[in-house]
């Protein structure tokens, strides 16, 4: 059994086919590496299924881009070797080496963008997000094995059109947990 990762999400309908937040969405200068699940800031995020926490770290920070807030990611390795990434979290409740149960709360939904720091010189995609009301969400990625850290990957997007090695489309994995 799989658990939907954000019980308080606005909807359990997954964005797809190029919609905002869908996997490999074309965002002008970047492609989206995950699937976005929109939810109020501070919503509990739970592990979809059991696994071992293999990494926790900073996902975005104002030191990297001035219009970013500080958010975190968690990597969980599952029994079949698939690794899930929970990102854009404002808080993390677990540590590397922990085993988590399916349904266990592991963090809280955060918000990446700081609208006050977005200017006319910010990328068009970022300006559009501000105009659309800067939503908070869980950014979820899925990998076949441990994620590589390609230089063209930043903040959940890939620049230059090349898909990161062993990145999977998380849509069907998430769909299994939606019912």
With CB under 5 A as the contact rule, which of the stretches 27-35, 38-46, 71-79, 119-127 interacts with Zn ion? Answer: 27-35
Report if residue 139 touches Zn ion, rule: CB under 5 A. yes
Cβ 93 to Zn ion shortest distance, Å: 21
Q: Which is nearer to Zn ion, 81 or 124 (CB)?
A: 124
- CA-CA-CA-CA dihedral for 21, 39, 153, 71, to nearest 10: 160
The reply on whether position 156 binds Zn ion by CB under 5 A is yes
Residue 51 or 156 with smaller CB distance to Zn ion: 156
Buried b (16+ CB within 10 A) or exposed e, 1-13: ebbbbbeebeeee
The answer to whether 141 contacts Zn ion (rule: CB under 5 A) is no
Instruction: Give the residue with the Cβ less far from Zn ion, 36 or 90.
Output: 36
110 vs 156, beta carbon nearer Zn ion: 156
Taking CB under 5 A as the binding criterion, the range among 30-38, 78-86, 96-104, 162-170 that sits at the site for Zn ion is 30-38
Residue nearest to Zn ion (CB): 139
Alpha helix segments (H runs only) across the chain: 124-131, 171-178
Instruction: Give CB contacts under 8 A, 24+ apart, made by 62-66.
Output: 62/114, 62/117, 64/154, 64/155, 65/155, 66/114, 66/117
Q: Is 90 in the site for Zn ion (CB under 5 A)?
A: no
Per CB under 5 A, 15 contacts Zn ion:
no
- Secondary structure E strands in 25-151: 30-32, 35-38, 44-46, 51-60, 71-77, 82-92, 99-100, 105-109, 137-144
The residue ranges that bind Zn ion (CB under 5 A) are: 34, 36, 139, 156
């Amino acid at each position: 059994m799989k658990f939907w990762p954000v019980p308080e999400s606005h909807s359990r309908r997954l964005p797809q086919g190029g919609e905002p937040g869908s996997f490999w969405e074309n965002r002008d200068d970047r492609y989206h590496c995950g699937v976005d699940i929109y939810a109020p800031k501070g919503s509990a995020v739970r592990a979809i299924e059991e696994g071992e926490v293999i990494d926790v770290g900073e996902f975005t920070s104002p030191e990297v881009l001035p219009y970013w807030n500080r958010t975190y990611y968690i990597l969980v390795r599952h029994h079949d070797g698939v690794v899930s990434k929970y990102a854009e979290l404002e808080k993390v409740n677990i540590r590397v080496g922990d085993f988590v149960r399916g349904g266990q709360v592991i963090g809280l939904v955060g918000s990446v963008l700081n609208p006050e720091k977005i200017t006319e010189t910010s990328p068009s995609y970022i300006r559009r997000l501000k105009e659309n009301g800067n939503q908070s969400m869980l950014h979820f990625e899925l990998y076949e094995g441990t994620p590589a850290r390609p230089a063209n990957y930043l903040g959940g997007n890939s620049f230059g059109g090349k898909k990161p090695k062993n990145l999977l489309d998380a849509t069907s994995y998430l769909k299994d947990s939606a019912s």
